[in-house]
Amino acid sequence: MRAFKKSLALIMEQYDPRVDAFIGKSAPFAQPILQHIRALIHETSPLITETIKWSCPFFDYKGTLCHMNAFKVHVGFGFWDSRALTDPGNYLKRGDEKDAVGNFGRITTLADLPPDHILQEFIRQAMAANEKGAKSSRPIAPKKPESAKAELVTPPDFEAMLTANPKAQEVFDKFSYSHRKEYLTWIIDAKSEATRQKRMEQAIEWMAEGKSRHWKYQ
């Protein structure tokens, strides 16, 4: 009986009902893709758990491994630290090639994903990197000389909103480092999900009008 309860607890930790809800609310074309990615991840290792961060599913093992998201006409899937992965087949988009939605471009069908055994190898590599305590390639505050600027990290849900609004995306991309940082800090520092969502929507509206975060005071 104790063994059964322990196994049940592990299963409950492995799966998050909020991910079921996320998939259920996604577009019909996206659901089988999201279900396949999720099943493949858990098939690779029962030690991987899932959660919701920034309004989309994330998968963790001693740190963040990967995440997926659903958009109007495509799905995104990416590894949190793709630079830690060996990719002899050149399946991954990373660095300057990295698409805003993940490491595999805009996924519209299962055929757009690499073969299952390739994805599982990436997952195992990501787990091994976390085991070794590999540093993320997207740190919020990397150790650099004081004169250097810290890398700005755009949360996936805000990336999705930018992608859906080309005008705001264009303005954001042309902003100076300081103007982009003002918006991102404002969003990330929100104390609740409701406040965060409201700030993201306001940011998109202002940027679509070409306005900086503190335009009222300029």
Global confidence as pTM: 0.60
pLDDT at 138 over 60: no
Domain-wise residue ranges, the chain = 2-131, 156-217
CB 149 within 8 A of CB 180: no
Distance CA 127, CA 108 (A): 27
Average pLDDT over residues 15-19: 94
CB 70 within 8 A of CB 57: no
Could you read off the pLDDT of 80-109 as tens digits, one per residue? Answer: 888 899 999 999 987 645 555 689 989 999
Could you read off the pLDDT of 29-38 as tens digits, one per residue? Answer: 999 999 999 9
Residue whose C-alpha is closest to residue 136's, from 171, 173, 84: 84
CA distances from 61 to 6, 57, 65, 104 (A): 19, 14, 6, 21
Fold of domain 2-131: Aspartate Aminotransferase, domain 1 (3.90.1150)
Hey, is 60 helix, strand or coil?
A: strand
Confidence of residue 18 (pLDDT cuts 50, 70, 90): very high
Distance CA 1, CA 28 (A): 40
The full DSSP string for 74-102 is -EEEEETTGGGS--TT-----GGG-BTTB
CB 100 within 8 A of CB 161: no
CB 118 within 8 A of CB 93: no
Distance CA 8, CA 46 (A): 12
